[in-house]
Amino acid sequence: MKISGNFIYLKKIKISDALFTYNLRQIKSNSLYLHNPPQNINDQKKWLTNNIKNKTSLDFIIWNISNNRKIGTIAFTNITKKHAEWGRWICNGNTIQNIESALTLLNYGFKKLKLKKIYSLTNVNNKKVVNFHSKSFAKYKGLIKSKFFINNKKVDAVNYEFDLIRLKRLKDKFKIMTQLTQ
């Protein structure tokens, strides 16, 4: 499965992506906000194998269209008929690629999966992603105390939610942004 944008495309994750995802999670600036990263490549392969079989999860690799290189990951988890959680978003592209990866996933969720709501739970300390959500027209749903256990500490989560109207606003903002940079 491949879902194309203008600057990136999403491709369903495979076991052969284990080394890429393992290395991505080992980068200190990424791992600060994540649940415990895998200890070795075999742990990552086991996790991927189990996750690919999970019917309530859909993980993608984010690819840079201009050079056909992997630049990140993004996923839906806890998928039901009406909603899903958007997460596992680690993107080392430029600003436009990062935003488009989110737009592409959200659009797929609403248009193809027919979801009504897509929410995210973000580590409160991940200021870059929390800031993105606060400026993205997502609806702030509140703070969930002690949601995560990261680096042996309980961490709060910030909950944001998208619907089709909020997605359209983000798409319009993105369209203007990309026109200004061309």
Reported as a single tens digit per residue, the pLDDT across 14-54 is 999 999 999 988 877 777 777 777 789 999 999 999 999 99
According to the model, what pLDDT value does residue 138 have?
Answer: 92
| H runs (alpha helix) in 11-157 | 18-26, 28-31, 41-53, 95-111, 127-135
According to the model, what pLDDT value does residue 71 have?
Answer: 97
For the record, the structure tokens of 36 come out as 């415990």
- What stretches in the chain show pLDDT beneath 50? none
According to the model, what pLDDT value does residue 31 have?
Answer: 72
According to the model, what pLDDT value does residue 29 have?
Answer: 74
For every residue of 72-86, DSSP letters joined together read EEEEEES--SSEEEE
| CA 180/CA 174 separation, integer angstroms | 10
Query: Cβ of 17: how many Cβ atoms within 10 Å?
Result: 20
Quick one: DSSP state of residue 121?
E
According to the model, what pLDDT value does residue 102 have?
Answer: 93
According to the model, what pLDDT value does residue 180 have?
Answer: 58
How would you classify residue 142: left for phi > 0, otherwise alpha for psi between -120 and 50, otherwise beta?
Answer: left
According to the model, what pLDDT value does residue 25 have?
Answer: 87
According to the model, what pLDDT value does residue 114 have?
Answer: 96
Q: Label the pairing between strands 8-12 and 117-123.
A: unpaired
According to the model, what pLDDT value does residue 64 have?
Answer: 96
| CA 26/CA 22 separation, integer angstroms | 6
What SS3 state is found at 89?
strand
Whether the full predicted model's pTM is greater than 0.85, yes or no, is: yes
